[in-house]
Structure formats: structure tokens, C-alpha cells
């Protein structure tokens, strides 16, 4: 009996083309399968490799801004054409990639001027580097927050070259604490950071921006989530109750902040970006700093952000996917859930039923706030099956049941979702 020889890498790679992966990656997978003596698993390994690629995902978790799923859903159109990223079409001369977008962002936020960078973390970095190099930036001890693992305010400040001046106490910081700091230290600016993902309750007090604005040094407010206007004029009704006291760009500037900074992909519902908006001279100082070049976004982001901002200016929240999903009436979601349950047909085990749920804004915003929602509950764990399709569906488990919350699902995907649930329960497609 001869020892079976492993197949050639090339032949095995060729047998993997149905995975849709380019040949060079099939070769890598084939080589790995042969080296680890898992030739029989090569197809599976190729499928796994293909699944690790970035792809559209259906979010049935009920978390609107899901950090693992890229935060805000983006429904933008893009073409294969070039864009006038740095061309002034009026003169044919080289233009500024920031100028047009700045006007649109500034108008939407009620600011004098604006600058766009890659995310809110880089916005904070740039503001500190440009406005407080080697000087002090005063922050309340109650606002030295960590947001999403790697973003810690004290660390960003250290990297920026600004000197952190801690003011007040963890639970209470008053205007006079800032005043005292300004008396003894070289304070270039006061930084107010929204606590975003946690709350201090009980005997606590933070100094409002309106009081910080009377200290005589520039006030920079990191409001984080990018709510543009507390009145939500882009919605048909009043602001939803789950927004409660979330700080908004327009009102923070009106209260006297010299600059606000915020994310593009949280409550703004746009692409990943960081926005610096406010006083023109300060925005311009940020734009002149060498870091601005390193942190500048590409044309794809600018185009997506512009589309989002124009929808705000047109007061058309229904065409911003985040706001459309967040403000869908729960009755509509229930009707959709009933349709999905009916399409599957239930009765035997496991059961499929309509369920009332709590959706959440997510993305490190609005801790503890929920949005009434509705979905489909399956009395079994079918999470793996849902996740392992061409268009993966991410749901969540609760009390041993798989919950598919419809608030974060595009209605156009209901049929696919119903089909995949039926499939998981052994029904023919
Ligand atoms: C989320 C958040 C950030 C970080 O924003 P990124 O866009 O993720 O960099 C910074 N500050 C506050 C207050 C936040 O809520």
C-alpha cells in the first residue's frame, strides 16, 4: 500500500474557485490546508476565508449604532466617476477639499465654519495640538472619560502635546474650580467632554457650557454623538423621548462654546468622520496645523457626509437611514413581524412568535435609554445559521430564544430574514 500523496497546491487551489475568492487567495488557502493536513477541509476553509471579508450584513440586534457593524447604516449613492475633491469648478484651479463640505456642515450645525477629519478622536487630537501646544487644557475630573476601549481623554491629550489640567472632583466641578485653575496655570482652553456612555447620578454637578463660556478662554465641547439640533427639525414630530438631554451641536454653540467636535457615524447617521465646528479663526488654526493633512478624510467620506448634511438641511430625516429606523412607529414594526411569523408558519417546536422588544441607540451613546420595538422570537438558538449565509444576519439571544429585532432591519430584507429563519427550522425554501 503506497502512502497517499498530498494534492498539488495548484490543483487544490483550482478546486476552490467556487468560493468566489481570487486565485492567489485560493492558493494561500490550499497551501494552508496541505500544510496543516486538512485537505478535506479546504472547501470549508475557503468559505470561512470568504466570510471574513467585509460584506453587507443584516443587523437584527436592535442596536441602531452597532460598533461591530460599523455604527450608522449608510445609504449613499456613489458612481465610478471622479469627483471635484480639490478642484474649483468655477476657475478650473486647484481648490480646497474642505471648503465646500465646510459650508454645508457649518450651515447644518449652525456654526460659522467647520473642518472634517477622520473621526472624533482625531478631531480632539487636532484641536488640542493646534490650540494648546505645550499649554494647558483644563478638564473636569468628572469628564476624563474612556469611550470604546482605546479612546481615553487623558491619553489623547498627552499625545496631542497639550498639558492636562484636572479641575474639580469626580462628581462635582463648578465654575470657580476652573477660575482657580486659570489663575495659577497657563490655560489655553477649557475642554468639556460629554460623558456619553455612562452617568454620574446623585450628588453630582458639572459646569454647563454657558458658564464655562464666561471664563475668558476658548471653550471646546466634545459632544461625541453628533446630534445636530435638540429640536430635531428633520423629524415630523417632536424630538423622541429617548434623546432626552443629549447635547446638540447647535445649542452647545448657542450656549457659548467656541468649538464643538463630534462623530459623523453616531447620532449624525453619516460616515465615520470627525467634525470640528464653530469660530472661524479657531477652525482655520486647526486647518493650518500639519496634523490636519494627516487626518484628512478621502473623497468617499466627504461625499457621504455631504449627502447626509444636505438631507439635514432639507429637513428630510426619513432619508437618513439611522433616523428612519429610529423613528419607525412600533405598530409598523409589529405588522412586519406578524408578516414574517405568518410566512414561516408556526405551531410545532421550536416556535416562532412576535415579540415586543427594547431597541437601543448604541454606539456608546445614551446609556440606559431604550426605544420601544418589535421583532420575531424563535424558541431555539439559530444564531449560527443566521450568521452563516451569503448575507449574514446578526441577531441576539435572550432567555434561550433568538430575537430578531426589526427596528434595525430594512423592510426590504424582511423576506430574506423570514426565509432564513424558516430554513434554520428545517423548512424547505
Ligand atoms: C464616541 C466619542 C468619541 C470618539 O469618537 P470617534 O468618532 O469614535 O473617534 C469622542 N468623544 C466622545 C464624547 C464620544 O462620545
Residue 325: the pLDDT is 97
Ligand 1 atom nearest residue 273's Cα? 7
Q: Which fold has domain 96-316?
A: 3.40.640
Cα gap 26→43, rounded to integer Å: 10
All residues at 6 or more sequence positions from 362 whose CB lies less than 8 Å from its CB, including other chains: 63, 64, 65, 66, 67
- pLDDT score recorded for residue 195: 83
Ligand 1 centroid to 72 CA: how many Å?
A: 14
Q: Please tell me the predicted confidence (pLDDT) of residue 346.
A: 59
Instruction: Assess whether the C-beta atom of 247 lies below 6 angstroms from ligand 1.
Output: no
Atom of ligand 1 at shortest distance to CA of 265? 7
- CA-to-CA distance for 103 and 115, rounded, in angstroms? 9
Ligand 1 centroid to residue 172 C-alpha, Å: 23
How many A from CA of 249 to the centre of ligand 1?
Answer: 14
Nearest Cα neighbor of 290 from 168, 61, 79, 133 is 133
> Could you tell me the mean pLDDT of each successive run of 10 residues in the chain, 429 residues long?
72 93 96 95 93 92 95 81 90 90 95 97 96 96 82 88 93 94 96 84 87 97 96 96 94 98 96 97 97 94 95 96 97 98 80 96 88 97 94 96 98 97 84
C-alpha cell at 184: 495659577
> What pLDDT score was predicted for residue 81?
85
Ligand 1 touching residue 317 (CB < 6 A) = no
167 close to ligand 1 (CB < 6 Angstrom): no
Q: Does domain 58-73+328-424 have CATH number 3.90.1150.180?
A: yes
- Contact by Cβ (8 Å): 161, 133: yes
* Residue 12: CB atoms within 10 Å: 21
Residue 363 CA to ligand 1 centre (angstroms): 9
pLDDT of residue 189: 97
Q: pLDDT at position 117, please?
A: 98
What is the DSSP track for 116-133?
EESSHHHHHHHHHHHH-T
Q: What is the dihedral of CA 212, 213, 218, 220, to 10 degrees?
A: 60
Q: How far is CA 19 from CA 38, 54, 94, 209, 390, in A?
A: 17, 15, 45, 56, 11
pLDDT of residue 246: 93
CA distances from 227 to 32, 153, 187, 250, 325 (A): 48, 20, 28, 9, 16
Indicate if ligand 1 lies below 6 Å from the C-beta of 193. yes
Query: Under 8 Å CB-to-CB from 394, ≥6 apart: which residues?
Result: 57, 58, 59, 60, 61, 66, 68, 69, 386, 387
Strand partners, 212: none
Whats the size of the chain, residue-wise? Answer: 429
Q: Say if strands 151-152 and 146-147 run parallel, antiparallel, or are unpaired.
A: antiparallel
Does the beta carbon of 147 sit less than 6 angstroms from any atom of ligand 1? yes
pLDDT reported for residue 3:
61
Q: What's the angle, vertex CA 331, arms to CA 326 and CA 334, rounded to 5?
A: 95
Q: What share of the chain is helix, strand, coil (3-state, %, to 5)?
A: 40, 20, 40
In Å, what is the CA distance from 420 to each residue of 220, 308, 333, 398? 48, 32, 19, 19
Question: Which atom of ligand 1 lies at the shortest distance from residue 195's CA?
Answer: 13
Q: Are 276 and 123 in contact (CB under 8 A)?
A: yes
Amino acid at each position: 500500500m503506497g502512502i497517499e500523496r498530498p494534492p498539488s497546491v495548484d490543483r487544490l487551489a483550482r478546486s476552490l474557485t467556487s468560493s468566489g475568492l481570487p486565485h492567489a487567495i485560493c492558493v494561500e488557502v490550499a497551501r494552508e490546508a496541505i500544510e496543516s493536513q486538512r485537505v478535506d477541509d479546504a472547501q470549508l476553509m475557503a468559505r470561512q476565508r470568504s466570510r471574513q471579508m467585509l460584506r453587507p450584513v443584516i443587523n437584527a440586534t436592535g442596536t441602531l449604532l452597532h460598533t461591530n457593524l460599523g455604527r450608522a447604516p449608510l445609504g449613499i449613492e456613489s458612481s465610478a466617476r471622479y469627483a471635484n475633491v480639490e478642484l474649483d469648478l468655477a476657475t478650473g484651479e486647484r481648490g480646497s477639499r474642505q471648503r465646500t463640505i465646510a459650508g454645508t456642515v457649518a450651515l447644518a450645525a449652525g456654526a460659522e465654519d467647520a473642518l472634517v477629519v477622520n473621526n472624533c478622536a482625531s478631531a480632539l487630537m487636532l484641536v488640542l495640538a493646534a490650540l494648546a501646544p505645550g499649554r494647558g487644557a483644563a478638564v473636569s475630573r468628572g469628564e476624563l472619560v474612556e469611550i470604546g476601549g482605546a479612546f481615553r481623554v487623558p491619553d489623547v491629550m498627552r499625545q496631542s502635546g497639550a498639558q492636562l489640567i484636572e479641575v474639580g472632583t469626580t462628581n462635582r466641578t463648578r465654575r470657580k474650580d476652573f477660575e482657580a485653575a486659570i489663575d495659577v496655570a497657563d490655560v489655553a482652553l477649557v475642554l468639556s467632554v460629554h460623558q456619553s456612555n455612562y452617568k454620574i447620578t446623585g450628588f453630582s454637578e458639572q459646569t454647563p457650557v454657558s458658564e464655562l463660556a464666561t471664563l475668558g478662554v476658548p471653550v471646546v465641547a466634545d459632544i461625541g454623538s453628533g446630534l445636530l439640533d435638540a429640536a430635531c427639525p428633520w423629524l415630523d414630530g417632536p424630538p423622541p423621548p429617548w434623546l432626552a438631554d443629549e447635547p446638540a451641536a447647535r445649542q452647545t454653540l448657542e450656549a457659548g462654546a467656541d468649538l464643538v467636535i463630534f462623530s459623523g457615524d453616531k447620532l449624525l447617521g453619516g460616515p465615520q468622520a470627525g467634525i470640528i465646528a464653530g469660530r472661524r479663526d479657531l477652525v482655520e488654526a486647526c486647518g493650518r496645523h500639519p496634523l490636519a493633512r494627516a487626518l484628512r478624510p478621502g473623497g468617499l467620506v466627504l461625499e457621504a457626509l455631504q449627502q447626509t448634511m444636505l438631507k439635514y438641511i432639507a429637513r428630510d430625516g426619513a432619508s437618513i437611514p439611522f433616523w428612519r429606523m429610529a423613528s419607525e412607529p412600533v405598530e409598523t414594526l409589529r405588522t412586519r413581524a406578524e408578516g414574517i411569523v405568518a410566512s414561516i408558519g408556526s405551531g410545532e417546536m421550536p416556535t416562532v412568535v412576535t415579540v415586543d422588544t427594547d431597541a437601543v441607540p448604541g454606539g456608546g451613546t445614551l446609556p440606559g435609554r431604550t426605544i420601544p420595538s418589535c421583532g420575531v422570537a424563535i424558541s431555539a438558538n439559530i444564531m449560527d445559521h443566521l450568521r452563516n449565509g451569503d448575507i449574514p444576519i446578526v441577531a441576539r439571544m435572550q432567555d434561550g430564544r433568538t430575537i430578531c429585532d426589526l427596528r434595525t432591519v430594512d423592510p426590504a430584507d424582511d423576506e430574506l430574514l423570514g426565509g432564513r429563519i424558516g430554513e434554520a427550522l428545517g423548512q424547505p425554501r
